[in-house]
Amino acid sequence: MSATEKTDVVVVGSGFGGAIAAYHLAAGGADVVVLERGPWLSGEDFDHDYLLGKSYTRVFDFVAGDGMSVLGGNCVGGGSVVYFAALPRAPRFVFDRHGGIGRRMWPAAISRDTLDPWYDRVSEVVPVRKQDWSEVTYAGGLWAAACDHSGRTANPVPVGIDAAKCTNCNWMMAGCRFDAKQSLLFNYIPGAVSHGADIRPLHEVQRITRNDDGDYRIHYTLVDEVDYRIQEPGGTIDAKIVVLAAGAAATPVILQRSEPALGPMPRAVGRYFSGNGERLNTAVINEDRVSELLGLSREDGAAYAANQIGKGPVVANWDKLDGSRPEYTRFSLEQLYFPPGLGTILAQAPDATGPAWFGLGKKEMLSKWRSWLTIFLMTEDDNEGVFGPPPPTGNAYRISQQMLGRGSLRYDPTPNTLRGWAMADAEVKSILERDGLAKVMPWTNDVVGAYTVHPLASCRIGDDPETSALDDRHELRDHPGIFVTDGSAVPGALTVNPALTIAALAERAIPGIVEAARQRGVRVEYGAPLPVKVTNTPATAAGVG
| Chain segment 223-255, per-residue pLDDT in tens | 999 999 999 999 999 999 999 999 999 999 999
- Taking residues 523-541, report their average pLDDT: 78
State the Cα–Cα distance between residues 512 and 518, nearest whole angstrom.
Answer: 10
* Predicted pLDDT at 424: 97
Residue 352 has pLDDT above 70, yes or no: no
The Cα-based distances of 190 to 32, 141, 289, 419 in angstroms read 13, 36, 49, 44
Between these two residues, 280 and 39, which has the higher pLDDT value? 39
Reported as a pLDDT band with limits 50, 70 and 90, residue 297 is confident
Residue 357 has pLDDT above 80, yes or no: no
Under a CB-based contact definition with an 8 Å cutoff, are residues 454 and 138 in contact?
A: no
Q: Which residue has the higher pLDDT, 540 or 85?
A: 85
pLDDT tens digit sequence for 407-424: 999 999 999 999 999 999
Nearest in space to 189 (alpha carbons), one of 297, 284, 311, 81:
81
Q: What is the pLDDT of residues 17-40, one digit of tens each?
A: 999 999 999 999 999 999 999 999
Cα distance between residue 517 and residue 211, in whole Å: 16
The DSSP bridge pattern shows strands 332-336 and 372-378 to be antiparallel
The average pLDDT across 312-332 equals 95
- State the pLDDT at residue 343: 60
pLDDT at 173: 84
Secondary structure E strands in 421-532:
438-442, 450-452, 482-484
Residue 59 lies in a domain: yes
Task: Answer yes or no: is pLDDT of 344 > 90.
Answer: no
The residue range of the domain holding 324 is: 5-520
**Separation of alpha carbons 374 and 474, rounded Å:** 36
**Is the separation of the CB atoms in 240 and 481 below 8 Å?**
yes
Angle between helices 415-432 and 138-149 (to 10 degrees): 90
What mean pLDDT comes out for the span 40-55? 89
CA 72 to chain centroid, in Å, comes to 6
pLDDT of residue 541: 42
Q: Which of 150-154, 274-278, 360-364 has the lowest mean pLDDT?
A: 360-364
Res 1: pLDDT:
41
pLDDT score, position 545: 30
Question: How much is the CA Rg of the chain, to the nearest whole Å?
Answer: 22
- What pLDDT was estimated at residue 464? 96
Least confident residue range of 6-10, 172-176, 329-333, 528-532: 172-176
The alpha helices in 207-322, defined as continuous H runs, are: 251-262, 287-289
- The DSSP symbol for 399 reads -
Ramachandran category for residue 77: left, alpha or beta (phi over 0 → left; psi -120 to 50 → alpha): left
What is the per-residue pLDDT across 424-479, written as a single tens digit (0 to 9) for each?
999 999 999 999 999 998 877 766 678 899 999 999 999 999 999 999 999 999 99
Quick check: is 120 in a domain? yes
Residue 323 has pLDDT above 90, yes or no: yes
- pLDDT (average), residues 298-316: 85
What angle separates helix 499-519 from helix 16-27, to the nearest 10 degrees? Answer: 40
Residue 53: the pLDDT is 85
Is 534 inside any structural domain? no
Give the SS3 label for residue 502. Answer: helix
- Side chain identity, residue 143: W
How far apart (Å, rounded) are the C-alpha atoms in residues 175 and 185? Answer: 11
Reported as a pLDDT band with limits 50, 70 and 90, residue 350 is confident
At 148-174, the pLDDT tens digits run 999 999 999 999 999 889 998 888 888
Rounded to whole angstroms, the Cα distance separating 373 from 307 reads 6
| 515 domain residue, yes or no | yes
- What CATH number corresponds to the domain at position 276? 3.50.50.60
Mean pLDDT over all residues of the chain? 92
Number of domains in the chain: 1
- The CA distance from 477 to 462, in Å, is 11
pLDDT value at position 307? 83
Q: Collapsing DSSP states into helix, strand and coil, what is residue 409? A: strand
Judge whether 223 and 465 are in contact, CB under 8 Å. Answer: no
Q: Given this model, what pLDDT does residue 195 score? A: 97
Q: Is the pLDDT of residue 540 over 60?
A: no
Confidence of residue 353 (pLDDT cuts 50, 70, 90): low
Indicate the residue type of 7. T
The region that residue 341 occupies, defined by phi over 0 for left and psi between -120 and 50 for alpha, beta otherwise, is left
- Taking residues 269-293, report their average pLDDT: 94
